[in-house]
Structure 1
Amino acid sequence: MSKAEFDLDGNASPIDEIIKAVEKSTGFSCKRVNTEGQELDVLIDGDAKAFAERDYPKGILQLSAIDKRVLRITFDPDVVGARAVLADLFGTRLRLAVCRISPDLENGQKHVRETAWFTLASAALTIPVLVLAWASVPPRAIVYGSVSLALATAVQVLIAGRFYASALRALIFTRVIEMDLLIVLSTTTAYVFSIVAFTYLVTGHPLETGEFFETSTLLVTLVMLGRLVSAFARQKAVESVSIRSLQVQTTTLCDADGRNDEKIDARLLQYGDNFKVGPDSRIGTDGIIVTGTTEVDESMVTGEALPIDKSPGSPVIAGSINTSGVIVVRLTNLPGNNTISTIAAMVDEAKFQKAKTQEMVDIVAGWFVPAILVLTLLTVVIWIAVGIRVRLQGTSEAVVAAITYGITVLIVSCPCAIGLCVPMVTVVAGGAAAKNGVIFKTAVALESARKVTHAVFDKTGTLTAGELSIAEEIFLGANLVARPVIFGLTSNSKHPVSMAISSHLVSKGIKAAEVENVRALPGQGVEGTYGGRLIRCGNTRWLSLQNLPEARRLLDAGLTVFGVTVEGVPAALFGLHDHIRPEARRVLAELKKRKIAISIVSGDDAGATDAVAAELAVPITNVRSRCTPGDKQEYMAALATDKRVHTLFCGDGTNDAIALACADVGVHMSSGSDVSQAAADVVLLRPALTGVLVALDLSRAAMHRVSLNFAWSFVYNLFAILLAAGAFVNARIPPQYAGLGEIVSVLPVILVALQLKWFRRDY
C-alpha cells in the first residue's frame, strides 16, 4: 500500500520532532492525518507555505502546503461552504487544484513511477556492459574493462544505492535484517570481486576467471525489473478493488425544482444544495430525492442485485447508478463524508489490522534472511572444498566459483513472497467484500469467519424486518397518560419498537409533548418526566406487567408487547406484529446444511420469540427471550467455554453491542445503531441476512488463497535455493539471472490474491 500509520504521544515530544524522527528511521515521508472537517486543495499564485502561515478565518481548521503552489484547506462545513472558501473567505479568489486520488493509491502510483525510472536507468547502463562482455567485439580487455567498471559503478551507486540505504536503516533503527541486505551483499560481492579481477588484469597478472561486471549490473537490473512488475501488479490489484473509484468528480447543481442547472466540481457541494442526476448517471453523494421517480442500481455499493424503486422522500447513496428517470436530490452528506467515504475508511482500517496468521508470517520472515545468510556461507565453504578436492581446481578458481554460487543463493531466495501472502489477500478480499455489500472491519474477522460453528441471532430487526405495526392498543385506568406524552418519550429512540409507536402516533396526527429527562435503558425501554411524574415505556418484564390479564392476552397471541406506566401504575399497552425477513428461512437452512448450530436471543417477550423460532425451525432449547444486554453477554460467554465452538453473533440494536463484542465474529445489520456498529467486526451494507453467508464464503475463499500462497512460497524458495546452491548436478541458476526470482516468486502470489476480485455470491 506504500503507506504506514503511527499513533503518536504528543506529550512525549513536539509533533514536528516526532515526524522528523519517523521520516529518518523509516524512509517514508510523514504527515499528520486530519480527521476533522472537509479538505479542499487549491492553487496559490505564490508560495503555498507562506500563504499557510496567515491567520485562519472563521470556519478554517487548518492550512497546509502540499507542494510549492498547492495548498490544502481544512474547513468546518457546518460553518462555511466550499464555494465560499474559494470565492471570498481569504480576500482573493482561489482556484481548485487538480483532484487528487486517495493517498494510498497516489503513493502507490508514485512508487510505481519511481521504480520504472530507476529500472529504465539501470537497463540503459547495463546493456553496454552486456554488449562488451558477450558480443563479438575486437579484444581490447583493458578499454572494455574500464568502460564496464565505470558503468557498473554508476549502477552500484545510483541504482543499488537505494538498497544500501534501506538495508542500513533497517539494521540501525529497527534491528531487522531485510531482503535488501541480501541484494546488497550479493551485488557488492560481485562488484568488488570484479574490481579486484580487473586490477589484476591491469597490473599484468590476470586471474583465471577474469572480471564479470555484467553479473552485478544485470543482477541489479533484473531485481529492479522484478520490483517494477511486483509494484505494478500490487498497485493494479489495489486500484481494482478500491471503493473510492465510485466517487464522481462532477455533479449538476440546480434549484429544488430542477431549474438553473450548473455543472460543478463535486468537491464544491455544500449543505443546502440540490443536484440533478440524469439517466445512467452515478449519484454524486448521499441525499434525499426531492422530485422525480426512478430505479437505482446500488449493487456496486451494497451488493443488492436488483434495481430499487425510488420516489420523492427516498434516500439515495453515493456511487449508485440512476438507471431511468431524472431526479433532483437534496444533499445530506458531503462527498468527503458520504457512504463511499465511510465504507472506504472502514476497509482501509481493516488493511492495517494484522491477522493471527500474519504473526506467524512475521516470525518466519524475520528468521528467513539470517537463515539464507547461513546457507550462503555453507554453500561457499562446500563449493570451495568441492572445487579443490573433487574438481582439482586452483584455490582462486574454486573461490570464484563458490562465490558465484553464494551470490545466486543470496539473490534468488525471496522473503517478499512470504511477506505478501496474507496482506495481499487481505487488501483484495476487503475490496471484494465491500463490493458484495460486506465490510470486514478487522483482518482477524476475515480470517476467523470461516471457522464459525455456532451462529446466534437477535430477533427484532435481524431475523425479522423490524417493520413493526400496531395490532392493538389498550389504554388502562382513567387515561393516566395521553398519546402526546408517549410520542414525546419514543420520538428520539431508534429502537424498532419505539419507532413503530412513533410512526403509529404520527399517522394519527399526534404531536409530541415535551418530556423532560428522557433516558434510554438498553434492553428495557425509555423513561422521562412529564408534569413532575415518572413515565416509563418499555417491555413488560421491566415494567412488571407480564401478569396483567390484558398483557397476558397479547403475549399469548405472539405479539410484541410495549407497556406504559405512570409512577409505576399501568397506563397503556401496545401489541405489535412483525414479519420474518424473506431470506431468513433460506439463510438459516444453509447454515444448518453447513453443520452450524443456530440460536435466537431476544429482549422480546417469550410468545413473540418462540413464534419466530418455531417458524424458522430453531430448537426451543436454543432460544432465549426477555434478554437484557447482560443476559446476551452471559449466553455468548457460556458458548465460548467450549474451545471447539467459534461463535458468530448477528444483531442491530444498542442492546446487542456487548454480545457483538463478545462473539468471535460480530455481524452488524446496516439498519442498526451506531453503537452496535462500532462493536461489530463485520458490517452488512444492506439489511439482508444473506450477507452472513457472503462473509463466511469470502473468509473461506480468502484463507484458501493464503494457503495456496504459502505453499507456492515454500515450493519456490525450496527449489530456487537448491538450484542456486548447485544441489542438482546438471542444472543451476547463473548468478546474473538470479534477479528474475523476484518476478517468479511474487507475481503468482499477487495473481492468486487478485482472483478474489471476481468473487460474487447471489443468494
Structure 2
Amino acid sequence: MKRTEPILEIGVEGMTCAACVRRVENGLNKLPAVQHATVNLATERALVRFDHPPLESDIAAIRATISKLGYEPVDLKSKRPSSAETSETDTLWRMTVGASLFAIPTVVLAMAPMLSDSVMNWMMRWLTMEQWNWVMLLLTVPVQFWFGRRFMRLGAKSLLSTSPDMNALILLGTMAAFLFSALVTVFPNWFPVASRHVYFEASAVVITLVLLGKYLETKSRHQASDAMKVLLKLVPKTATVIRDGQSISIPAEEVQLNDLIEVQPGTAIAVDGVVESGSTYIDESMVTGESVPVAKVAGDAVVAGTINGSGSVRFRATAVGAETTLAKIVAFVESAQASKPRIQGIADRVVAYFVPVVLLIAIFTSLAWLFLMPGGAVDQALIHAVAVLIIACPCAMGLAVPTSVMVGTGKGAQHGILFRSTDAIESLSHVEMVAFDKTGTLTVGKPQLSRLHVLPPFDEPTLLAELALVEQRSEHPLAHAIVEAAEMRGLRSPNELVDFQAIAGAGIDARLSNGDRVRIGSERLMREHAMDVGPLEDAVADAMERGEGYFFAAINQKLAALIVISDPIKSTTPAAIANLRQKGFRIALISGDNIRTASTIADRCGIEPSMVYAEVRPNHKAEVVQSIKREGGRIAFVGDGLNDAPALTVADVGIAMGTGTDLAIESADVIAMSGDTWLVPRSIQLSRAVMSNIRQNLAWAFGYNVLLIPVATGLLQPWTGLSLSPIVAGAAMSLSSFFVVTNALRLRSIRLD
C-alpha cells in the first residue's frame, strides 16, 4: 500500500462543476514541474504527480495557480475534515435561508397581480406598478450581489480566463434578468409599453434555488465520505503507556515507536503493535471485514482502530501515525478516490465544449425570438436565453463519476476490500474468468505436518529432529511445518548443520556434523540419486487422494520417510467458488502440485478438472495467465505469495490476499484485507454495482441536458406547447446535481453476498 512516485495531494475549495475541474487541471498541468494532475470534484482534492520530489517552490506555484484561478488551496494536513465540512454546509444553509427571506417576497409581489383583478387593484391602492418595481429591485439587490456573490465572483474569473463554467452561466443568466429589469425600473421610457416587464423574481429565485441545490449536494457529498470518517474516528484520542513502571494517559498522536501500551477491556487500540503480555479477543471487523473477534496472545499483532474485548493486554508499538495499517487503508482509499476511471474521459471530453456550446445556444435563442419567432420581443428573447443558461448543468457531469467512486470505495473499505484505483474497479467489473493460486488463497496457507511415514531402520523422533534441523535453513513454506512439528514435540537434534544447498524446484541437499547426508525433496530428486520410492507408493497414493502435499526424505542414500503436509481448505472457499460459478464466471486453479493432488483440491473447491493448471513452477504462473488471456476473455488472478506477484501484474486484475506477502499486495489492483475467499465475489459484485451506478449518473447528466436545453429555448413551443421559465430551469438544474449524488448514495445500502 505504499506510494512509490512523488505526489502532492492538496484541497481545492470553491469548485462547483466539471468545467471547474477541467479549469484547475489545465492550470496545474501547465506548470513545468508537474508531470500530471487530476482533480476530483466529489472529494475537492487535486492529486499532482511530479518526476522529482516536490520542492517548496513547486508547492508554492501550485497554491498560487489554484488561487489565481479563483479557488482556495487547502492544506489537507491542517484541515479538520468534520469541522470544515460542517462549516461549509452551515454557511450554505445560512446563505440559502438569507436569500429566501428576500426572494419569497419578490416572487409574491411579481406573481400576485396575476392572481386576480381584485389583488391587482388592492396593490395599486398602496403603490403604482412602477413603484412596486422599485421595491422588487431593492429586495433583489442583496440576493444578486451578497448571497449570490460566490457565483458572481467565480463566474467573472472564469469568463476573464476564457474558460467559462457553471458559475459563468449563472452570472450571465441572472445578471441579464437583473440588468434588464433594473433598466425597465429606472428608465421605463426606453422600452415599448408591451416590453416593460421586470424579472427580478427570476434572478432572485434562481440564485436561491442554486444555493439550495449546492447545500443539498454538499450535504449529500459529505455523507458519501462517511465511511472514511468512520474509519478515522476508530482511533482513540488517548492511549495508556507504561513509563518508569507507571501508567500514563497521553494523546494518541504522542505515542512513539517501542512504547509499551496497556489496553483495558472494551477500549480501542491507538497504534499498531505486538502483544507482550496478557490475552484477549479483538474485534477487527472495521479493518478486515471479519465479524468474528480474533484471539490475541503474546507475539500476536494488533492493529490501530480495532476494539479490545474482555481481556487486558500490553503491547509494544511497532507503527504510529501515518504508518499504521488503518492510516494506510485510509490513504489507499483516498488515493483510489482521487484517480479517474477510463469512463470519466467521456464526461471530460463533453465538458470541454459544453459551456461554450450552451453560450452559443443562448445567443441563437435570443436572436430567434427577436427576429424569427411569432410574437417575439425583447422580453421573450431575454427570458428564454436566461432559461437556457440556467438549465444547463455541467456540475451533474462533474459529480456523476467521482461520487459513485467515493461511496463505492468507502463501502469496500468497510468490508475489507481495497481498490488501488478507479481503473481497478472498472476492469474488475468486466472480468469473465477468475484464476486462483492454491496455497494461502484457496487454502489457509499454514501447512501442518499431517503424517510422517518412516521406513526401518530409522526411528521417527530422531529423524524428525534431523529434518527440522535442516529445514530451519529453508525458506520454503512447507519447511515451517516440519520445524513447528519438532518444536511442539520438544525434539532437538544434537548435531549441527555443516553444509546446506537448496535445489530450485527439487528440494534440499544437506550434511550434518555426525556425517549424515540428508536429502529432502520431490520424487524426481530421489530418482536422480538412484533411490527407489516404491516402498512408499501406497502412502503417496493416499496423500494424493486426500489432496495433501508430500515429499521424501533420504539419509545417506537410503529412502527414510514420506513427509505428508496438509493445508486445510478455507471454510468459505467452496461457497465462494460456487457463488462465482453461479454468476457465470469460469474458475481456474493454477498450482505447483502434481495433477492428481491439484485435481483433488479443485474437486473439493468446486473447480472443473479441465480448468486445473498443475505442476506450474513459480516463475511460470505469469506465463499461464498470459496464455489464458490470449485465448480470449478478461481474467482476474487471485494470489498471496511472493511468487504470485508477476501473475498479479500481468492479469487484467490482480487480487491479493491481505494476509499475504508485501510484494503480492504491492503488485495487486485489489486487496482482500482479511484473506477470506468470499471477498473475491464480493469485490466483483461491488465493482459491477459501482460501474452500473456511474452509467446511471452519466445517463442522467447527459440526458437531462440533451432533453431540457431544447425545451428551455422555447423554440418548440409553437408545435409542442413546451417551454420553461428561468425559475423552473433553476429548480431543475439544482435537482439534477442532487439526483446524481443521492443516486450514488444508494451504493451504501447494497447488500454484498
Bin for the TM-score computed over the shorter chain: 0.7 to 0.9
Change in Cα spacing, 1:250 to 1:11, as seen in structure 2 (3 Å) is closer
1:622: which partner in 2?
Answer: 611
1:665: which partner in 2?
Answer: 653
| Paired residues of 2:553 and 2:561 also in contact (CA < 8 A) | yes
2:221: which partner in 1?
Answer: 234
SS of residue matched to 2:45: coil
Alignment of 1:366-405 (within 5 A): 366-385=352-371, 387=373, 390-391=374-375, 398-405=377-384
- Give, as a single letter, the amino acid of the residue that structure 1 aligns with 2:367: V
- Give, as a single letter, the amino acid of the residue that structure 1 aligns with 2:470: I
2:481: which partner in 1?
Answer: 500
1:428-465 CA distances to partner (integer Å, 9 max, x unpaired)? 01111111121122212222323322110101111111
2:423: which partner in 1?
Answer: 444
Alignment of 1:343-422 (within 5 A): 343-385=329-371, 387=373, 390-391=374-375, 398-422=377-401
State the alpha-carbon separation in 1 of the partners of residues 611 and 101 from structure 2. 71
The question of 1:195 aligning with 2:182 is answered yes
SS of residue matched to 2:319: coil
Higher alpha-carbon deviation: 413-422 or 365-374: 365-374
- Measure how far apart 1:217 and its partner are: 2.6
Change in Cα spacing, 1:206 to 1:663, as seen in structure 2 (3 Å) is same
Change in Cα spacing, 1:536 to 1:422, as seen in structure 2 (3 Å) is farther
SS of residue matched to 1:283: coil
2:437: which partner in 1?
Answer: 458
- Give, as a single letter, the amino acid of the residue that structure 2 aligns with 1:268: E
1:710: which partner in 2?
Answer: 698
2:66: which partner in 1?
Answer: 23
1:181: which partner in 2?
Answer: 168
The question of 1:588 aligning with 2:577 is answered yes
SS of residue matched to 1:5: strand
| Paired residues of 1:295 and 1:307 also in contact (CA < 8 A) | yes
State the alpha-carbon separation in 2 of the partners of residues 317 and 12 from structure 1. 32
State the alpha-carbon separation in 1 of the partners of residues 615 and 578 from structure 2. 25
Change in Cα spacing, 1:276 to 1:211, as seen in structure 2 (3 Å) is same
Change in Cα spacing, 1:599 to 1:361, as seen in structure 2 (3 Å) is same
- Give, as a single letter, the amino acid of the residue that structure 1 aligns with 2:745: L
Match of 2:676 among 681, 688, 693: 688
- Measure how far apart 1:125 and its partner are: 5.4
Change in Cα spacing, 1:325 to 1:12, as seen in structure 2 (3 Å) is closer
Match of 1:745 among 724, 736, 744: 736
1:472: which partner in 2?
Answer: 452
Change in Cα spacing, 1:8 to 1:120, as seen in structure 2 (3 Å) is farther
SS of residue matched to 1:466: coil
1:303-358 CA distances to partner (integer Å, 9 max, x unpaired)? 22333344444433333333434444443332533232121111111112222222
State the alpha-carbon separation in 2 of the partners of residues 575 and 265 from structure 1. 51
Alignment of 1:135-534 (within 5 A): 136=123, 138-139=126-127, 145=133, 149=137, 152-167=140-155, 176-201=163-188, 208-240=195-227, 242-255=229-242, 260-385=246-371, 387=373, 390-391=374-375, 398-470=377-449, 471-472=451-452, 486-490=470-474, 493=475, 496-504=477-485, 506-507=487-488, 508=490
State the alpha-carbon separation in 2 of the partners of residues 313 and 732 from structure 1. 73
SS of residue matched to 1:456: strand
State the alpha-carbon separation in 2 of the partners of residues 310 and 158 from structure 1. 60
Match of 1:756 among 722, 737, 747: 747
Number of residue equivalences: 680
Higher alpha-carbon deviation: 696-705 or 366-375: 366-375
Change in Cα spacing, 1:16 to 1:374, as seen in structure 2 (3 Å) is closer
- Measure how far apart 1:617 and its partner are: 4.3
Give the TM-score, by structure 2 length.
0.78
Change in Cα spacing, 1:126 to 1:218, as seen in structure 2 (3 Å) is same
| Paired residues of 1:636 and 1:659 also in contact (CA < 8 A) | yes
1:685-733 CA distances to partner (integer Å, 9 max, x unpaired)? 1121000111121122222322332343345335533543333555543
- Measure how far apart 1:109 and its partner are: 4.2
- Give, as a single letter, the amino acid of the residue that structure 2 aligns with 1:702: V
State the alpha-carbon separation in 1 of the partners of residues 362 and 508 from structure 2. 72
Change in Cα spacing, 1:600 to 1:351, as seen in structure 2 (3 Å) is same
The question of 1:112 aligning with 2:94 is answered no
- Give, as a single letter, the amino acid of the residue that structure 2 aligns with 1:423: P
1:493-545 CA distances to partner (integer Å, 9 max, x unpaired)? 5x6334434434544465999999999999888999999xxx99996499797
- Measure how far apart 1:587 and its partner are: 1.6
1:650: which partner in 2?
Answer: 638
Identify unmatched segments of 5+ residues in structure 1: 35-65, 67-99
The question of 1:612 aligning with 2:601 is answered yes
State the alpha-carbon separation in 2 of the partners of residues 158 and 648 from structure 1. 55
State the alpha-carbon separation in 2 of the partners of residues 521 and 747 from structure 1. 64
- Give, as a single letter, the amino acid of the residue that structure 2 aligns with 1:115: L
- Give, as a single letter, the amino acid of the residue that structure 2 aligns with 1:307: P
| Paired residues of 1:126 and 1:217 also in contact (CA < 8 A) | yes
| Paired residues of 1:603 and 1:628 also in contact (CA < 8 A) | yes
1:267-286 CA distances to partner (integer Å, 9 max, x unpaired)? 22223334444444333333
Higher alpha-carbon deviation: 13-22 or 519-528: 519-528
State the alpha-carbon separation in 2 of the partners of residues 407 and 538 from structure 1. 84
Change in Cα spacing, 1:639 to 1:536, as seen in structure 2 (3 Å) is farther
SS of residue matched to 2:575: helix
SS of residue matched to 1:733: coil
Could you tell me the percent identity over the aligned residues?
28
| Paired residues of 1:472 and 1:575 also in contact (CA < 8 A) | yes
SS of residue matched to 1:668: strand
- Measure how far apart 1:127 and its partner are: 5.3
| Paired residues of 1:19 and 1:31 also in contact (CA < 8 A) | no
State the alpha-carbon separation in 1 of the partners of residues 634 and 725 from structure 2. 50
Change in Cα spacing, 1:12 to 1:355, as seen in structure 2 (3 Å) is closer
| Paired residues of 1:411 and 1:739 also in contact (CA < 8 A) | yes
Change in Cα spacing, 1:310 to 1:720, as seen in structure 2 (3 Å) is same
- Measure how far apart 1:111 and its partner are: 3.8
| Cα RMSD (Å) | 4.4
State the alpha-carbon separation in 2 of the partners of residues 454 and 180 from structure 1. 46
1:50: which partner in 2?
Answer: none
State the alpha-carbon separation in 1 of the partners of residues 503 and 49 from structure 2. 35
SS of residue matched to 1:446: helix
SS of residue matched to 2:48: coil
Higher alpha-carbon deviation: 341-350 or 132-141: 132-141
SS of residue matched to 1:648: strand
Give the TM-score, by structure 1 length.
0.77
Higher alpha-carbon deviation: 634-643 or 199-208: 199-208
Identify unmatched segments of 5+ residues in structure 2: 1-42, 113-122
- Measure how far apart 1:9 and its partner are: 4.5
State the alpha-carbon separation in 2 of the partners of residues 667 and 263 from structure 1. 41
Change in Cα spacing, 1:223 to 1:30, as seen in structure 2 (3 Å) is closer
State the alpha-carbon separation in 1 of the partners of residues 494 and 228 from structure 2. 47
- Give, as a single letter, the amino acid of the residue that structure 2 aligns with 1:188: M
SS of residue matched to 1:675: helix
- Give, as a single letter, the amino acid of the residue that structure 2 aligns with 1:655: N
1:84: which partner in 2?
Answer: none
2:25: which partner in 1?
Answer: none
